């Protein structure tokens, strides 16, 4: 999965790296994302996970993208686009089924009718079927067990009418790590590609001793900024908007060039920390749009221009998107996906 700008890491750059390592398929959200990869020279198969808008079908076909479909309108638009190109051959599509998440997908009751409609088409090929788990990180969740059963039933229903799609995929990152029964001949790794395992929860009578071990992955992203101001304040000085932090002793406060406009979430105000000169420095005061304040009183020799790690490791200190998510009351997906475009990306050769 390289959707949503590769979870904030850079769609084109990550796609190139994955393709170079042998990835045969990439997953993206939209036609626009897929075309951007084609324009960048990405040649492997590209699956458009969230369908397409009316008016995009011709560009989708021309870009040799493979869409998820679940409505009759999807099929009719694509058929028209394929016919308009002449001698293109059939366009492969993947039929998305709603097995219980209640989001995108075809109702199970319409499966045989829709699958038969695709198979009878002169322009389309039913290459794959897929669904999405609602609670794959909740071990013992009954809704997941029901979804897995329904997905197995999909294959049996299709077989009963002589249809056997080449690809079948259900497992996302959490299911890849902890639910081998969901593996079919295609899986969809997402956040784990970028170095994160989502923490598992348990439900019902699931034995916590059976929680799977996380995969041995390392976050690939470091997020850095610099100190742009240093000031010494006396006891009792309010810091930042609304004075939500007041110094309890003489303090050295640094201003760093990152704020919520960069994706440094305001919910971390007065909760999180950063790394300066191989030591942790607490965030103090409200995070603002372009700036944040940290307390460096206990760190010797801090200077203007010093590097500040928001995510990354230095010395014995380490910070991750999971840490930021915990402080902000969210999930690591939202942290990395929320990195603003104005945050400069610098890519290093991992070799």
Q: What is the pLDDT of residues 175-219, one digit of tens each?
A: 999 889 999 999 999 999 999 988 888 888 888 878 888 889 999
What number is the average pLDDT over the span 242-263?
98
Residue with tokens 């904030």: 8
DSSP per residue over 170-209, as a string?
A: ---HHHHHH-GGG--SB----GGGGT-PPPPEE-TT--GG
The per-residue pLDDT for range 74-111, each reduced to its tens digit, is 999 999 999 998 877 999 999 999 999 999 999 999 99
Would you say residue 351 has pLDDT above 80?
A: no
Q: Compute the mean pLDDT over every residue in the chain, rounded to the nearest whole number.
A: 95
What number is the average pLDDT over the span 37-52?
98
Active site residues: 3, 241
What pLDDT sits at residue 210? 84
* 3-state helix/strand/coil string of 99-117: CCCCCCCEEHHHHHHHHHH
Would you say residue 225 has pLDDT above 90?
A: yes
- Look at the domain 3-210 and name its fold: TIM Barrel (3.20.20)
Residue 278: partners with Cβ closer than 8 Å, 6 or more residues away:
314, 315, 316, 317
Residue 169: partners with Cβ closer than 8 Å, 6 or more residues away:
94, 128, 130, 184, 185, 186, 187, 188
For domain 223-337, is the CATH number 3.30.56.10? no
What pLDDT sits at residue 350? 66
What pLDDT sits at residue 140? 87
What pLDDT sits at residue 238? 98
The per-residue pLDDT for range 297-329, each reduced to its tens digit, is 999 999 999 999 999 999 999 999 999 999 999
What pLDDT sits at residue 151? 96
What number is the average pLDDT over the span 257-263?
98
What pLDDT sits at residue 213? 87
Task: Delimit the domains of the chain by residue range.
Answer: 3-210, 223-337
């Amino acid at each position: 999965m390289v959707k949503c700008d590769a979870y904030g890491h850079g769609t084109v750059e990550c796609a190139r790296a994955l393709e170079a390592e042998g990835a045969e398929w990439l997953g993206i959200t939209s036609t626009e994302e897929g075309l951007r990869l084609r324009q960048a020279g990405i040649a492997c198969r590209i699956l458009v996970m969230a369908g397409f808008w009316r008016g995009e079908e011709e560009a989708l076909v021309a870009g040799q993208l493979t869409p998820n479909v679940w409505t009759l309108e999807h099929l009719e638009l694509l058929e028209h686009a394929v016919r308009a190109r002449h001698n293109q051959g059939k366009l492969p599509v993947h039929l998305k089924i709603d097995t219980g998440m209640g989001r995108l997908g075809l109702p199970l009751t319409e499966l045989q009718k829709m699958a038969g409609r695709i198979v009878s088409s002169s322009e389309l090929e039913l290459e794959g079927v897929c669904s999405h788990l609602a609670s794959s990180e909740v071990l013992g969740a009954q809704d997941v067990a029901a979804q897995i059963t329904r997905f197995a039933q999909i294959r049996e229903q299709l077989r009963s009418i002589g249809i056997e799609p080449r690809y079948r995929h259900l497992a996302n990152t959490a299911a890849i790590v902890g639910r081998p029964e969901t593996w079919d001949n295609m899986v969809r790794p997402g956040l784990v590609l970028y170095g994160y395992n989502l923490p598992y929860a348990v439900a019902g009578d699931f034995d916590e001793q059976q929680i799977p071990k996380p995969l041995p992955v390392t976050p690939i992203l470091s997020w850095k900024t610099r100190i742009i101001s240093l000031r010494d304040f006396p006891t009792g000085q309010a810091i930042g908007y609304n004075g939500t932090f007041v110094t309890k002793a003489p303090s050295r406060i640094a201003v760093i060039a990152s704020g919520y406009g960069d994706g440094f979430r305001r919910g971390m105000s007065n909760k999180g920390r950063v790394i300066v000169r191989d030591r942790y420095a607490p965030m103090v005061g409200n995070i603002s749009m372009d700036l944040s304040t940290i307390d460096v009183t206990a760190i010797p020799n801090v200077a203007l221009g010093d590097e500040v790690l928001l995510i990354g490791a230095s010395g014995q200190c380490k910070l991750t998107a999971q840490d930021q998510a915990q402080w902000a009351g969210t999930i690591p997906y939202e942290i990395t996906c929320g990195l603003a475009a104005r945050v400069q990306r610098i890519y290093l050769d991992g070799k």
